[in-house]
């Protein structure tokens, strides 16, 4: 099986890792105040859980669709922009998404739903 890891880092620096090995899973690594730009922001609690094949595939499809939208991408990361990292086997691709893009809302709604259910 191909090893696939998809990372989403939101505008606050919270990291979501979706991977297919050793099991289909999502992991949330929140920013803690010490590492936030304000010194106060707290992204919450770390969590990792198993996800379904359907949830994994839906997220993969979403990330890949967004990676083709050049009009919402930027060259350098700025505050409130988001980062998508796609790793498949030994290849890695990175895409920075402009702040306030509707695609950011779509990704974050999907991730929140998976984490909370």
Q: How much is the pLDDT for 6?
A: 95
Mean pLDDT of 20-28: 93
Split at pLDDT 50, 70, 90, the class of 96 is very high
- If phi > 0 it is left, if psi is from -120 to 50 it is alpha, else beta; for residue 80 that is left
Banded model confidence at residue 31, pLDDT cuts 50, 70, 90: very high
- From residue 29, give the alpha-carbon distance in Å to each of 5, 13, 92: 15, 9, 20
Tell me the average pLDDT of the chain.
Answer: 93
pLDDT confidence band for 32 (50 / 70 / 90)? very high
Domain extent listing, the chain: 1-70
User: What band does 101 get if pLDDT is binned at 50, 70 and 90?
Assistant: very high
Rg over alpha carbons for the chain, rounded to the nearest Å, is 14
Paired strand residues for 83: 9, 96
What pLDDT digit, counting tens, does each position of 52-70 carry? 999 999 999 999 899 999 9
Report field, pTM of the whole predicted structure over 0.85 = yes
Would the pLDDT of 21 be above 90? no
The tokens describing 116, both together, are 């909370």
């Amino acid at each position: 099986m191909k090893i696939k890891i998809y990372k989403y880092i939101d505008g606050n620096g919270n990291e979501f890792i979706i991977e297919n090995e050793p099991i289909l899973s999502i992991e949330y690594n929140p920013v803690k105040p010490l590492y936030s730009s304000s010194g106060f922001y707290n992204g919450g609690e770390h969590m990792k859980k198993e996800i379904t094949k359907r949830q994994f595939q839906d997220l993969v499809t979403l990330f890949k669709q967004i990676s083709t939208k050049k009009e919402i991408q930027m060259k350098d990361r700025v505050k409130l922009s988001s980062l998508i990292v796609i790793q498949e086997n030994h290849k890695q691709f990175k895409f920075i998404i402009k702040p306030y893009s509707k695609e950011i809302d779509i990704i974050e709604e999907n991730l929140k739903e998976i984490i909370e259910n």
